[in-house]
Structure 1
Amino acid sequence: MAGRDLRALFSTNDRSVQADEAFTNRASQWETVAAALTEHIQRISAPGFDAEDLEAPRNHVLVFHGVGGIGKTTLSRMLEAALTDAGRRPSQWGEPGWPADRILPVRIDLARSAGTDFEQIVLTIRAALTRIGRPLPAFDLALRRYWEANHPGEPLEEYLRRGGLGSRFGQALPQQMQSALSDVAQALMLPGTIGSVVGQVTGALVGALRERRQTVRALAGCARLADLLEAEPDLDALSFYPHLLAWELARLPEGKRVVPVVLLDTFEDIGDRTRRDLERLVQRTVWLLPNALWVITGRSRLQWADPALQGQLDYTGPAAWPGLVHSAVPAARTPTPAGTARQVLIGDFSPEDCDDYLARRLTRGGQPLISEPVRQVITARSHGLPLHLDLSVARFLELSRSGRTPHPRDFDHDFPALVARTLTDLTLDERHVLRSVSLLDAFDVPLATRAAGLAHEGPALRLTERPFVHDSPFGLWPFHLHGLIRSAVRNADDTTDDRWTERDWKQAAQRAFTALGEQHQAAPGPDRLLLIAFLRQGLRLARDHRLNLGWLTPAAWTYVSDSVWEPLAPPDTDTDTTGLDTAADALVELLSALGRRQHQHRSHTVARLTTVITSRLLPDDLQHMALYYRAKAHRDLGDSPASRAGMQAVADGRGRLAPAARRGLAHLARMAGDFPTALATARTLGWEGRHHRVEGDIWWPHGDMDRAAAAYAAARDEAEHHGVTGERGNSQAHRAFALAFADPIVADDELALAEQLLADVDLRATTLNTHIAALARDAGRTDADVDDRAQVLRADIRTAGVTYAGLTLELALSFHYAVREAHDEVDAAISRLHAATGGGDYAYYSDIAHFMAGLPLEAASRARWFDGQQPTRQRWRTLVTTRRDQLHVPR
């Protein structure tokens, strides 16, 4: 409950200042849901309940809100599972007090990443109701009319399949909608063929409803059906159709009646507190479907009961939503009784609620005493912790007593009192563990014990039970400190008797670093998630505390070997770094540059790696890593001399990347058209040098796509045998590219496999290659939008700075134009190739373009073809004529 904040009241002589107190509690979420659902079933089963009543207050919404990452989505999913299948309900949740077969849970993820729009929300609810096994004619007819008006020519079945609703609920919805339409047409005695023409059926039905004909008496009970069918079938009208669903659900026979429980997750993503367009449609749906229970999870409380929102939303104010009336007091731990508050805070305050809390805590004349800029700083520093808000309020009053107006900079710091209050009831060993784990992003009990240098785990285990230690059961390490507590312990002026010196902190960092290394070495088998987690924590410790690299060196090699390139650098390091002081600084910058090169122009990568190389802070093997990847970036930029110099230096060093560097030299020979040298080098590379993929790169320019595809398949299989994820996807993408010229049908399957293998890796150039392969697969088709797709690809290639991908794209376009016999376009593509290959590398691409179009060569490149120019020309020309025959292109 809220009351007077006596401490604040007695901190000032200004009697005009109003100080309100607020408390935060946790709730037993399942008990709250069970109590709310029981009360909801009783209410809608009562004789006086009217689903069409548009004026009665609504109490069918339950809200769980809290900070991000506190487990709201997990809770939503667990609720869905528990309501769907009693066997999946945790035993400690207890038995529900309602028949399980009457409950119909429908979970909808509103996250932006899920791409859910309002149409999909409505369709999801209706698709879930297909489980009833019968059409809902009033709603179905309106929905069918809307669909045909807004999606002409798009089958609903395809939309459901593409959006994933078909797999979730089957394809019963289109059949039920068609059945409803046919039944209405038959009742109106329309011709049989008209049963599928929704416009004529709708018009006839509206007339029959207005005239109160007996033939439509089944639908005449829905008083607003005719009005909805006459309204323009736009998105706004669609948001009123749930009223028809409510009417249909209310008139179901006893044996078919169900209670929908709609779980809307990530509600904060449907907009913000200034743009409420989608929220207005969703709120209208909730209001018009009162016989469903709505369980909403999001970062912020719902403001629907706030009268100030009148005009932004249709139904607002405490009279409309008595259960959503805001109080500064979060819900209690006890189940929610009927008619009481329906907004439950789980975790800490969201930023909006922090601001609201601070605005309400101290007021004068009904206006917030703490200014908005000050509230913003306090909110940002608090991490949502109510204690920090309390301390900030106390500081505000203290500064005000001194006679000056508090400024935002006065609150940009951590409170020593927060450390003292956090440590106050901890044992000496628990304090020691707390300070140690504040160095870590996440931890488990053994890691915390080793970082603290203790011989027994009891203190670490007890610490994990404290409320400021959050439990993430699905994380690699299950525990992490609350963000504000961690910051305060690390950075605030510690005035306690057992405070640490700088030497104490460094020794703890070294212990934590060593313990991480031991866990990394003991990890069972290659686990990419574990590797990334160890590297992120280890890099931060080594960088912040100037530690030797130790186990980070072999871990960095493991990271590079898979070519997956997850984001890796610790926070605040994923930017250009010109002031490198330690080997750890240089390694952080090296690995950050390698991971970010998939998202940055290659010239940016060259600059960052040059900084690392010139610092000479890394040991020789890691120095060669930087040299090798800079040489690769030079090659992507078309700077062959610089690339050749770097590759040669790494090859001469005979280190771990020497085989890869020799492969790079083979690529450079191939780029220059020296195929015999490239092949001879490839045959010396072995697996470490990716010999099969290099051979494939040599065979496809000769038009020998079968041989190239076989080489790429061998490379893919070899990579799979060695467990190198990135190389497996890369080789498969190259195989799909080669086959895209030879056989579009086979290439389609190969591209699908390539996309599947690349789904979990970050290889930008390879992804571009798959898009070019898809374009070559579609070459010659008039409906493939080849030119538009090529325009988009050119922009992506320029952004990436991968020069050779642009040349490959022009080659694929030349193939398309040759198949279509578009002579002017072929000439233009050849001109672009000439202009781009004036330096000599890839000059034979323009030769290939001539071969495909059957054009004579005025000046051939210096390419050394294995069996001569004429057989190569014939193979490329055959690929064109074969595609032309497949597509029946007229000659």
Structure 2
Amino acid sequence: MINLGGPMDLRALFSSNDPINATEAFTNRQGQWELVASALQEHLRKISSEAFDVEDLEAPRNNLIVFHGVGGVGKTTLSRKLEAALTAADQRPAQWGEPTWSGEKILPVRIDLSRSAGTSFEDLVLTIRAALSELGRPLPAFDLALKRYWEAQHPGESLEEYLNRGGLAARFGKHMPQQMQSALADVAQALLLPGTVGSAIGQLTGSLTKALRERRQTVRALAGCARLGDLLEAEPDLEALSFYPHLLAWELDQLPADKKAVPVVLLDTFEDVGDRTHRDLEQLIQRVVWLMPNVLFVITGRSRLQWADEGLQGQLDYTGPTAWPGLALPTASVPAARAARPAPGQGRQILIGDFSPQDCDTYLARRLTHDGQPLIGPDIRTVITQRSHGLPLHLDLAVARFLEIRRAGQTPAPADFDHTFPALIARTLSDLTPEERHVLRSASLLDAFDLELATRAAGLTHQAPARRLTERPMVTENPHAIWPYHLHGAIRSALRTADDHTDDGWTPTDWQRAAERALAALGDQWRNTPTPATSRTLLVACLRQGLRLARDHHFGDLGWLTDAAIAYDSDAIWEPLVPPARDQTTTPHGPGHPAGPSLDTPAGALAELLTTLARRQREHRERTVDHLTAILTTGLLPDELAEMAEYYRAKANRDLGRNETSRQGMQQVAVGGGRLALRARRGLADAARIDGDFPTALTAAQGLGFEGREQRVLGDIWWAHADLDQAITAYETARTEAERHGNTGEQAITQARLTLAVAFTDPARADDEITLATQLLDGLAQRATTLITHIAALIRDAGSPDVTDRAQTLRTELTVAGLTWLGPTLDVALAFHHAVLGNRHDLAATADQLRESTTTGSYAYYAHIAAALGGLPQPQPPVRWLEDDHTVRDRWHTLVTTRQAHLREAS
């Protein structure tokens, strides 16, 4: 961000009696300058080449670069700064560096094509010619044709008076009429014509044309322009005028070396040139660009140029990627400042990016100052920056609001700027068709969309308006996303939250109906997904958008969201699902939609339920219990979703060591006989195992099948008995079943349990199994499962020097996560390590710690396992094993002696 000391903001100057230093602030935009500089350097190399032919009308054109972006992003400011930087070195920001074309004379010409400027095509051509008058040389070929045109189209009107009235004479000096008169006099003299030139232009052009046809030596200076005679014979109308720039290009090419200059024509506000239906003016301007290949054009506008599209044949003279190779590439999807530099001649359409937060803050700090200090404080700047989404127009509107508040005698506060501006809507909608405006409002309800989603949300039957909208710069495209399009953040926020004073503004009912259509379209996309490989990703994406729509618009019927929530739960992957908080920035229009707590609608309760289930992998289980209890208390969820909340509350209580409370919750779900009844029965089997009642656990496990994770439950039972071969077989079977059902989450869980068994028996194989578990867990939010693999790694490394320190770190992680149920497993890993080393003191301490931590009865059998590992006395009370106590103890102790033998062999 730099302050170039530009013109004073007169609105700010006259807004208050209190003197304010209000100056034009400008963001660096170094990336855009570098692209222009690179294009100009390439342009200079090309036109200086001996192979360059200014009259070649077939060669592809790369003599332009296009900057486009949403209204208010700073295109006009950039155009002005480029003109200033090319005009004088002292106007170029220091950050932009020195140009690489020293010695070349650059002649910038900026032309505003906005409707308010009223620039006609005649004005465009005259402006370019007037700017070239600074070269101090007549341009006879062009001047003669222009004089003929002017007298035919403006009889009785002096060109000099027209230039004075339009301001061109003041802008570029009064040399052009004199140069034209001199050029015509020279031609008349060469043709030996009598009388004054001004009154005999028809005779002059006729004689010159005849002389050119006869190849007379007297006009040899103009004879080199092959098409001059034809242009002088053509009817002098607007069509002919559009071809005269060819004569200007030819004249520039003929200048002596000491008079040569390279014009850079900056055409701003190109969106006002026309629309997709009326391209008459665009056709004329495109012709100028094509016929002047030795001039670099810098075009700024809201939309990308379509000149490289084959479909415009017949509407424009020169179309297609062969004609305009630099325009044929996809528009950059990142701000040019961060984009990789394109290859020469390529990537000539650049999307102007938003300001960074740092640029926004600096802009606001330097925009208004008082006694050399920023007038807008840091707290207000922060709010404005966040709400602007980097859009410069929002920053300017916020500055105007700041001045308005001060003028009213009040002190601006951060809350005064926590909103969007209706002016953003007007600016955004100004050049859209009614159908495109309708689609835009509908699409603003969606975080991201494709053509079908936007069309259905708008209630239309044809996609053409949505397709046209996606080509606007306010829509950003990510071709690799499920839904490739999303609206600019500031524009979307303005559409959804600001008062809409436009003629076709929506009523609250319109917004509600659009939200209903959008929600239905999301559900249909999820249900009709033909590719299973993408179904999970699409499910999560649909849930994120659907939950927010249903919550923010207070939908009472959850519809497809219920089925989607069940599908989300079944895979146990737990991707984050947190929709944006509902506050003033996201609250939709309409009565009855105040900002408030999330638990006030079924959709809000469901959103909180699913986000709680996902968050429990990253937060303490106590918080999980609290959240689920609050959700259940509302009574807003239908029975099958309330069952889900109850089940996971029971699981969280089990993780916290509240086995009896967990058992009661599982019993309630199991008795209900719903979708999760089998899982609850598994929970009851786990509860019996945790209590050391293995016969009951085994009985409860029978008949659970895959839905009840029967093989995983059996694996846990056999693992506790140190029957690791049977445990490994059960885990492998469970993993295979999960893979067959396409359940990645369950695959990861069973694979982690498998590592816990293999780590005792085969450290070498454990390496591979832990690696596989890590791969399966990649991208899954399963914190407890991940920590199980870390415990397995300790068991694998038992006897190594760092095991104790690693175990201490791991214990801290378990405590922070509220996963107390994994503590006894970690202690068993430590006991195994101490037993392998023969360290009976540390082993006894670990066993004592296990006894103390399991006094409630939960996992009490782990103390028996620790004692068995080191041959310590058996604790009380006894465990209800499936086999006699001696057999179980002997298996655990054998694991220690086997590992000791392995370590001796390895050493």
Q: TM-score, normalised by structure 2?
A: 0.62
Aligned equivalent of 2:657 = 638
Helix, strand or coil at the partner of 2:833: helix
Q: Does 1:699 align with 2:699?
A: no
**Structure 2 CA distance for partners of 1:363 and 1:860, relative to 1, 3 Å:** closer
- Deviations, residues 182-206 of structure 1 (Å, cap 9, x unaligned): xxxxxxxxxxxxxxxxxxxxxxxxx
Cα offset, 1:650, TM superposition = 1.1
Q: State the secondary structure of the residue aligned to 2:476.
A: strand
Residue 885 (structure 1) aligned with residue 901 (structure 2): yes
- Residue matched to 2:882: 866
Q: Which amino acid is 1:754 matched to?
A: A
Identify if the C-alpha distance between structure 1 residues 400 and 846 changes in structure 2 by more than 3 Å, giving closer, same or farther.
closer
Secondary structure of the residue aligned to 2:419 is coil
Partner of 2:547: 539
- Once the 2 structures are TM-superposed, how far is the Cα of residue 398 of structure 1 from its aligned partner? 3.3
Q: CA deviation at 1:41?
A: 13
Pick from 794, 802, 813 the counterpart of residue 819 of structure 2: 802
C-alpha distance in 2 between matches for 1:407 and 1:649:
53
What is the CA deviation profile of residues 400-442 of structure 1, one whole-angstrom value per residue up to 9, with x for unaligned ones?
4445554433322211111122122222222221211111111
Residue 757 of structure 2 corresponds to residue 738 of structure 1: yes
User: Which runs of structure 2 are paired with 1:422-437 in the superposition (5 Å)?
Assistant: 422-437=428-443
Could you tell me which of 521, 529, 537 is aligned with 1:529? 537
Write out aligned runs for 1:780-795 (5 A): 780-781=799-800, 783=801, 785-795=802-812
**In the alignment, which residue of structure 1 is the partner of 2:238?**
none
The alpha-carbon distance between structure 1 residues 332 and 403, as it changes in their structure 2 partners (threshold 3 A), is farther
- Find the partner of 2:385 among 362, 376, 379: 379
Q: Which residues in structure 2 correspond to 1:842-853 (within 5 Å)?
A: 842-853=859-870
Matched, 1:613 2:629: no
Residue in structure 1 matching 2:7, options 4, 23, 34: 4
Note the 1:176-215 alignment, pairs <5 A: none
SS in 1 for 2:24: strand
In structure 2, do the counterparts of structure 1 residues 853 and 6 end up closer, same or farther at CA, with 3 Å as the change threshold?
closer
Give the aligned partner of residue 791 of structure 2: 772
1:510 aligns with 2:516: yes
| 1:660-693 deviation digits (Å, cap 9, x = unpaired) | 1111111111112222222222221111111111
Change (3 A) 1:847 1:410: closer
* Number of aligned residue pairs: 599
- 1:445 matches 2:465: no
Q: What is the CA distance between 1:32 and its match in structure 2? A: 5.9
Structure 1 residues 631 and 5 mapped into 2: Cα distance closer, same or farther (>3 Å)? same
Match of 2:855 among 831, 834, 838: 838
Shift of 1:539: 0.2
8 Å contact from structure 1 (residues 4, 21) kept in 2: no
1:811 equivalenced with 2:828 (yes/no): yes
1:540-560 CA-to-partner distances (Å, cap 9, x unmatched) read: 000001112111011101111
Structure 1 position 822 matched with structure 2 position 800: no
Q: Tell me whether 1:587 sits opposite 2:591 in the alignment.
A: no
Counterparts of 1:611-690 in structure 2 under 5 Å? 611-690=630-709
Tell me the distance in 2 between the aligned counterparts of 1:23 and 1:773. Answer: 55
Whether the 8 Å CA contact 2:16–2:406 is kept in 1: the answer is no
* Residue 601 (str. 1) matches residue 620 (str. 2): yes
Residues 114-133 of structure 1 mapped to structure 2, 5 A cutoff: none
Matched, 1:470 2:487: no
1:557 counterpart = 2:566: yes
SS for the counterpart of 1:474 is coil
Contact (CA 8 Å) 2:869, 2:893: kept in 1 or not? yes
For residue 895 of structure 2, what is the amino acid of its counterpart?
A: L
Contact kept in structure 1, 2:12 and 2:403, CA below 8 Å: no
Q: Which residue of 2 aligns with 1:19?
A: 23
For residue 502 of structure 2, what is the aligned residue in structure 1? Answer: 496
Distance 1:628 1:749 in 2: 34
Equivalent position to 1:397, from 403, 410, 435:
403
Please give the alpha-carbon distance, in whole angstroms, between the structure 2 residues aligned to 1:876 and 1:332: 60
SS in 1 for 2:23: strand
Query: Secondary structure at 1:687's aligned position in 2?
Result: coil
Amino acid at match of 2:831: S
In 2, are the aligned partners of 1:780 and 1:816 still within 8 Å (CA)? Answer: yes
- Aligned counterparts of 2:404 and 2:366: Cα–Cα separation in 1: 18
Alpha-carbon distance in structure 2 between the residues aligned to 1:405 and 1:616: 46
Query: Shift of residue 580 of structure 1?
Result: 2.1
Query: How far apart, in 2, do the equivalents of 1:587 and 1:567 lie?
Result: 14
Distance 2:747 2:31 in 1: 48
Cα deviation for residue 373 of structure 1 reads 3.6
Q: What one-letter code is carried by the residue in structure 1 that aligns with 2:622?
A: S
Partner of 1:724: 743
Residue deviations 1:200-228, cap 9 Å, x none? xxxxxxxxxxxxxxxxxxxxxxxxxxxxx
- Contact kept in structure 2, 1:564 and 1:725, CA below 8 Å: yes
3-state SS of 1:688 partner: coil
Structure 1: gaps spanning 5 or more residues: 43-63, 71-328, 339-343
- Structure 2 CA distance for partners of 1:608 and 1:364, relative to 1, 3 Å: closer
Q: 1:854 aligns with which of 857, 871, 876?
A: 871
Partner of 1:482: 488
Change (3 A) 1:25 1:624: same
The verdict on how the C-alpha distance between 1:420 and 1:845 changes in structure 2, with shifts beyond 3 A counting, is same
One-letter code aligned to 2:570: S
**What TM-score does the superposition give when structure 1 sets the normalisation length?**
0.63
2: distance between equivalents of 1:711 and 1:337? 58
Kept in 1: contact 2:835–2:843 (CA 8 A): yes
Aligned-residue CA RMSD (Å): 3.5
* Contact 1:5 1:21 (8 Å CA) reproduced: no
Name the amino acid aligned to 2:613.
L
Contact 2:20 2:368 in 1 (8 A): no
Judge conservation of contact 2:32–2:336 (CA < 8 Å) in 1. Answer: no
Deviations 1:636-669 (A, max 9, x none): 1111111111111111111111111111111111
Deviation, structure 1 residue 464: 1.5
Q: What is the distance in 2 between the residues matched to 1:618 and 1:434?
A: 33
Separation in 2, partners of 1:573, 1:776: 47
Aligned 8 A contact 2:25 2:363 in 1: no
Q: What amino acid is aligned across from residue 463 of structure 1 in structure 2?
A: L
Distance change (3 Å), C-alpha of 1:830 and 1:889:
farther
CA contact (8 A) 2:394 2:424 kept: yes
On the 8 A contact 2:835/2:896 being kept in 1, the answer is yes
Q: Distance in 2 between matches of 1:581 and 1:336?
A: 52
Letter in 2 for 1:632: K
Deviation by residue 1:136-158 (Cα, 9 ceiling, x = unmatched): xxxxxxxxxxxxxxxxxxxxxxx
Contact 1:573–1:589, Cα closer than 8 Å, also in 2 = no
Quick check: 1:539–1:588 contact (8 Å CA) kept in 2? yes
